[in-house]
Amino acid sequence: ALKLVTIGGGSSYTPELIEGYIKRQAQLPIKEIWLVDVEAGLEKLNIVGAMAKRMVKTAGLDWEVHLTLDRRTALKDADFVSTQFRVGLLPARIKDERIPNYYGMIGQETNGAGGIFKAFRTVPVILDIVKDMQELCPDAWLINFTNPSGMITEAIKTYGHWDKVIGLCNVPVMAMSSEPELIHKTLDELTYKFAGLDHFHWHRVWDNTGQEVTMQIVDKLFGDEDAGLPTNIFDVPFFKDQLENMRMIPCGYHRYYYRQEEMLAHGLAEYRDNATRAQQVTKIETELFELYKDPNLDYKPKQLAERGGAHYSDAACEAMASIYQDKKTHMVVSTLNQGAVPDLPSDHVFEVSAQIGAAGAVPMAFGHFQPAERGWLQLMKNMELVIVEAAATGNYGLALQAFTMNPLIPAGATAKRVLDEMLVAHRNYLPQF
């Protein structure tokens, strides 16, 4: 019988996770679910935890649901640990977005200066968690969706020396669930292949006769810009000429790079209206927790779909079931490249199509990239390595190097000022600096 632990259990996404477990009750012989949080999240944990208990009860299951602030007790003898925490909660995200915006830069929680600082805050915590796991549940699998998911997975592997980890994101899931119908197909009739980095990957698609249909999908995407786009990303269309040259489908987050000017303008307008995404999410979250308080609510409310991360907990449950049942399912995960993309180092983390089974993730070969995408990936991956090392060591010069490399941060005195200001703003969560 399985003991499942979720760190950041007070998340508004927890009902989706519980729904995912209930759906897979025949595949996952669950005994205990432990939802772990910190003092600052205690109220959220209690509300959403009570809701989780109701869902399990309504489903007629005898699973124990434990709510705790004691991470070590929770981790003892765990089989699967999933991580969905936000260090500093939404007030920290508001700073991640608004401080760069104030200086005229993109403010986004996984890209630009905000993404760098989310990594800086998260890496010390995840390395602590891994240290606990080494002692308390050395055989457990770690399923990480804490953002920036790819960089956090890299930190777990490279600095935590923990190999049994899979990093997840819902963006590929959303592409695969929305695109097939655009070309009147079902997902079963298509073969998808993804490669790149978390929030910076591309994909190609083939039909069951082996014919590539990527560009057919691209054509349809141009009538329906937001197909598969998470709700948190503004839908500036890509340049069609660029995609015709690329012959791949970029992920939603590529907009921040390919249409930086327009994404910045949109972000700054939201900033002036006091409506950055973090501020919008604060409202949505308050509404969701009001719903969760209802003692009669025992199913995931439809309003959760307003969150950009909808479906990601379901992917987490599927990863656990695939490992446990050795299902060899196709999933897109952050894992070691191992030659899937020969242009890139084999011993670092990329987001690639993989088979998920008892051995974890086995990446599928994607092949070479053309110079444009290869160049982007080399810059972005090396920037990730600089960020993760700066986060693990607290080296200020390296943090400045990361800011200088980031394509969304114009290098210079203003960039250094943003770095310095964010170090002060987040100092309670940056013990390493």
Residues in touch with ligand G6P (CB under 6 A):
147, 169-171, 230, 232, 277, 281, 307-309
Residue 217 CA to residue 249 CA, distance in Å, equals: 8
> Which of ligand NAD, ligand G6P, Mn ion, none sits in contact with 232, Cβ below 5 to 8 A by type?
ligand G6P
Interactions with ligand NAD, residue window 57-96 (CB under 6 A): 84-87, 89-90
Residue 351 CA to residue 419 CA, distance in Å, equals: 27
Q: Of 253, 256, 271, 312, which residue is the catalytic one?
A: 253
Q: How far is the CB of 138 from ligand NAD (least distance, A)?
A: 20
User: Contact with ligand NAD (CB under 6 A): which of 12, 108, 153, 353?
Assistant: 12
Residue pair 196/202 in contact by the 8 Å Cβ criterion = yes
Taking CB under 6 A as the rule, does residue 49 contact ligand NAD?
A: no
How many CA atoms, within 13 angstroms, populate the side-chain half-sphere of residue 133? 28
Taking CB under 6 A as the rule, does residue 125 contact ligand NAD?
A: yes
> Which of ligand NAD, ligand G6P, Mn ion, none sits in contact with 195, Cβ below 5 to 8 A by type?
none
Residue 224 CA to residue 30 CA, distance in Å, equals: 41
Mask for 292-311, x = binds ligand NAD (CB under 6 A): -----------------x--
User: At 224, is the secondary structure helix, strand, or coil?
Assistant: coil
What phi, psi does 68 have (nearest 5°)? Answer: -155, 155
Regarding beta strands 249-250 and 200-207, do their DSSP bridges make them parallel or antiparallel, or are they unpaired? Answer: antiparallel
Asked if 253 is an active-site residue, the reply is yes
Q: How far is the CB of 167 from ligand NAD (least distance, A)?
A: 8
Q: How far is the CB of 200 from Mn ion (least distance, A)?
A: 11
Taking CB under 6 A as the rule, does residue 50 contact ligand NAD?
A: no
> Which of ligand NAD, Mn ion, ligand G6P, none sits in contact with 230, Cβ below 5 to 8 A by type?
ligand G6P
> Which of ligand NAD, ligand G6P, Mn ion, none sits in contact with 403, Cβ below 5 to 8 A by type?
none
Residue 112 CA to residue 93 CA, distance in Å, equals: 13
Taking CB under 6 A as the rule, does residue 169 contact ligand NAD?
A: yes
Taking CB under 5 A as the rule, does residue 169 contact Mn ion?
A: yes
Residue 294 CA to residue 159 CA, distance in Å, equals: 43
Taking CB under 6 A as the rule, does residue 149 contact ligand NAD?
A: yes
For residue 340, CA distances in Å to 162, 206, 214, 353, 374 come to: 21, 18, 20, 9, 13
User: At 78, is the secondary structure helix, strand, or coil?
Assistant: coil
Residue pair 207/188 in contact by the 8 Å Cβ criterion = no
Nearer Cβ to ligand G6P (142/171): 171
- Which residues are part of the catalytic machinery? 253
The residues of the shown chain that bind ligand NAD, judged by CB under 6 A, are 7-8, 10-13, 36-38, 40-41, 44, 84-87, 89-90, 125, 145-147, 149, 168-170, 309, 312
